[in-house]
Amino acid sequence: MSAYQTILFDLDGTLTDPKIGITRSVAYALARFSINVTDLDTLIPFIGPPLYETFEGQYGFTPEQARQAVAYYREYFAETGLYENEVFPGIGKLLADLKEDGKRLIVATSKPTIFAKRILEHFGLYHYFELIVGSELDGTRSSKAEVIAYALTALALSKKDAVMIGDRKHDILGAKLNDMPSIGVTFGYGSYEELQAAQPTHIVASVNELATLLK
C-alpha cells in the first residue's frame, strides 16, 4: 500500500484538460490590448502558472497591465471558458478508488477557488475532495507554495504521509517549499524536461501509472 494517505491534486493539466477554455480566454484578453493571436497553441504556457506572472513574462506587461489582462480574461472565462474543458480519461475512476481506499483528497490549484469549485461541480468530481483550495480573485495566495501551505494548515495535515501531484514545475517547487514529496505527471502541459529539472519524487506518464503508484 502507498505511504501517501493525503493526496493533493493540481487541477489544470492534472485532473482536467483546460486547453481550449484557457487559450481562448487569454486570446480574448490579448485582443483587448490589440494583440491578435491566431495560433492558440502559442498560449499553452498560460496553462498552470499564475496568470499575472505569465502575462508579464510572455508579453512584457507591467503589473498594472497584467492585472487588467486577468480581468479581461475572466470576462470570457467565467461565462464560457470555464466549461471548454474536459476530464482526463481515467481520472474519475482513480478518484473513486482512492476515496474508497480511505485516502484524503484535496485540490490545490493556482486557479481562483470559486472557478475551481464550479469546474469540479460541473464535471461531477466535487464530492471526492475534502477541500478545494485556490487563489483569491484579488491575486493573493496565487503561488502554489502558498496554496499548499493553506491546505495543510486548514486541515491540520501531516506532511509525512502527504504528496502533491501536478504537471508543471510550480507544483513540484511548491511541494518542496512545504517539505513535501511530489509526483510530476507528463500527460498534462509540463514537459518531462521541465518536471525532471524541478526534481519531483516521482514522474509518471499516464493516469494508470499514477493509480499504480498511489495504491
Find the helix or strand (DSSP H, E) in which 154 lies.
Answer: helix 144-154
Q: Provide CB contacts within 8 A for 50, sequence distance 6+.
A: 110, 135, 139, 142, 143
Among candidate residues 69, 38, 30, 35, the one with its CA nearest the CA of residue 51:
69
Q: Is 10 a catalytic residue?
A: yes
Residues 6+ apart with CB under 8 A from 34: none
Contact call for residues 110 and 134 (beta carbons, < 8 A): yes
Kind plus residue range of the DSSP H or E element containing 65? helix 63-77
| Catalytic choice (10, 12, 17, 167) | 10
Annotate 106-126 with DSSP letters as a single string.
EEEEEEEHHHHHHHHHHTT-G
The answer to whether the CB of 162 falls within 8 A of the CB of 148 is no
Q: Cell numbers for 43, please give them.
A: 498560449
- Angle (CA) 97-162-45 rounded to 5° is 85
Burial tier of 23 (Cβ tally within 10 Å: 0-12, 13-18, 19+) = buried
Q: Which residues are catalytic?
A: 10
